[in-house]
Each structure stands twice: as C-alpha cells, then as structure tokens.
Amino acid sequence: MTATRTFRVLPGFNLTLGYTLGYLSLLILIPLSAVFLKTFEMDWARFVEVVTAPQVVATYKLSFGASLLAAAINAVFGLMLAWALVRYSFPGKKIVDALVDLPFALPTAVAGIALTALYAKNGWLGQYLEPLGIKVAFTPLGVLVALVFIGLPFVVRTVQPILEDLDTELEEAAASLGAQRWQTFRHVIFPILLPALMTGFALAFARAVGEYGSVIFIAGNLPFVSEITPLMIITKLEQYDYQGATAIASVMLIFSFILLLIINGLQAWTAKRTGRDR
C-alpha cells in the first residue's frame, strides 16, 4: 500500500483478491490442512516409523520415478502430437484432435481395466509381447503405461496453443539466414515452446503422482515391486489406520509441492532467459 498505485482497467482488486484467497482456502487449503491435522495426532517417532517403513519407501520410488518418466515420455511424444496437429492437415484430423482429450474424460478405472485387458498375456497386445519376454500387465512397466496414458492430454493441450500462435515467418527468417532445420528447431522454435512444455510436463507429472484408479488394475500391487503410494494410503485407510494414511499423504504432498515448485521455478527462469517474461 505504498504511494505507487498502478492504474487498473477494472476496479475491485480487494474484492477479487479476497474472493481468490477465500475460494482457494475453502477448496484446497482447508481439506489439505485437515490431512496435516490428522497427522499431528501421532507423535514424531511414530510418524517417522510409518513414512520410512521399507515397504512405503519402495512405493515412493515407484510412484515418483514412474511419474517423472511418464511425464518425460509425454513431453516428447506429446510435443510431436501437438506439432502434427498444428502444422499438418490430414483427413480425420478433427477426430484425432478429439481423441487426445479422451484420457481426461474416461473414468480412470475404465482406462485401467482396458489397458489391463489389452496387455494381459491373453490380451490383444499382451499375447505378442509375452513371447518376447516383455511383461506389461501386473509389472512396474504396466504402471508406467497407465501413467503415460492419463498424462498425455496435459502436454498436448498446453503446447498446442503456443504452437498455433507461433509465426511461421520466424522459421522462414531463420531459413533465409542460412539455418539448418535442426538449428531452426533448436534455437528458434524450442526456446519459445519450452515454458509451455514444462507446464505440460508439470501437470502430467502431478496428475501421475496422484493417479490411483487406472494403476491399481494394471500394477499387480505386489509389495516392494509394484505398489504405488496412493495404494499404500488406501490400504492404511482400509485398516482403519487414518493417522498412518494421512502421514503418508502429507509426505506425498510435501514431495509433490517441492517438485512442482522446482519445475515452476525452472519454467520462470527459462521464460525470462528467452525473453518471454510476462
């Protein structure tokens, strides 16, 4: 509240800020603080014991590892998909475009059942993969497949609008100045896309970390092999161990929050570096 007040086109800053904070508290902060409050019912020693149990630690590795990998795969292939959808016209393009959103709309349990049926050893794909020694259903690889599936739309939909806004003249200019195709991509297009790509990556990652419905069907859920952290939480809940469940949930929340902060920080840094700072 210093002397320099910037002029705003629309009045009501206080109202909107109050509304934003109130709404965020109601929807996000209050439920999340309930998680932490429940956790505080247990003492520190017990908390450490629960969240560092070897079986639980194994689930962190799988959940965060598979989620990062899935988000990375989606970043690469989602970018290619977005590129194809923006730059080329081909028959059925509208349908392909709509298909991208399907993982959003599909109940995750349905996705899980469909993927499991597909990759089980008697499934359409599984019957060919199994003889090659590649097991997907009921292995950690299955977890990855499910996470890639549900995360795909996030990357495509964040990169697509930026690509659409991208002037082809920039590329022509690069070409006329003697840039190779790779150089044009590397030095002209990619830096512009990078912030959006990272947002898509972060969203896909966040979604994957929290995913439960599709994964439990395909994972096999073996302790130390293919258990994800959300399953650990549900297992605790079903044993009436509410504190244990919220303890693991808070560790997950803190991990995710830190990772998302890092990604957002990186994104802001690249945006600044490439001169697209808002």
Partner 1 sequence: MSNSNAPGAILRRTFAALSFLAAGTAFAQSTLLNVSYDVSRELYKEINPAFVAAWKKQGGADITVNQSHGGSSKQAGSVIGGLEADVITMNQSPDIDILVERGGLVAANWRKQFPHDATPYTTTTVFLVRKGNPKNIKDWDDLVKPGYQVIVPNPKTSGNGRYTYIAAWGFALDKTGSEAGAKDFVTRLFANVPVLDGGGRGATTTFTQRDVGDVLVTFENEAILIAQELGSSKFDIVYPSLSIEAAAPVAVVQKVAAKRGTEKVAKAYLDFLYTPAGQEIIAKHDFRPRDPAVLKKHAAKYPNIRTFTVEQKLGGWAAVQKAHFADGALYDQIVARK
Q: Is 217 exposed, middle or buried (0-12, 13-18, 19+ CB in 10 A)?
A: buried
Q: Interface with partner 1 by CB under 8 A: which range of 93-101, 117-125, 152-160, 259-267?
A: 117-125
Cβ nearer to partner 1, comparing 199 with 235 = 235
Query: Between 24 and 63, how does the x/- string for binding to partner 1 read (CB under 8 A)?
Result: -------x--xx-xx--x--------x--xxx--------
* The binder of partner 1 chosen from 24, 80, 222, 254 (CB under 8 A): 222
Of 216, 220, 215, 206, nearest in space to 255 by CA:
206
Residues 230-269 that bind partner 1 (CB under 8 A): 234-235, 237-242, 244, 246
**How many residues sit in the footprint of partner 1 (CB under 8 A)?**
35
Site string for partner 1, 178-207 (x = CB under 8 A): ------------------------------
Secondary-structure breakdown of the chain: helix, strand, coil percentages, each rounded to the nearest 5 = 75, 0, 25
CA distances from 30 to 21, 27, 41, 242, 254 (A): 12, 7, 17, 18, 16
Alpha carbon 40 to its chain centroid, in Å, reads 29
* CB atoms inside a 10 Å sphere around CB 168: 8
Nearest approach in angstroms of CB 36 to partner 1 is 10
Beta strands in the chain (DSSP E): none
> How far is it, in rounded angstroms, from Cα 142 to Cα 23?
38
Q: 């993927």: which residue's tokens?
A: 115
- Judged by CB under 8 A, which stretch of 4-12, 178-186, 215-223, 250-258 contacts partner 1? 215-223
Q: Rounded to the nearest whole angstrom, what is the least distance from the CB of residue 28 to partner 1 in the complex?
A: 14
Nearest to 82 by CA among 97, 103, 67: 97
- Return residues touching partner 1 (CB under 8 A): 31, 34-35, 37-38, 41, 50, 53-55, 116-117, 120-123, 137-138, 216, 220-225, 234-235, 237-242, 244, 246
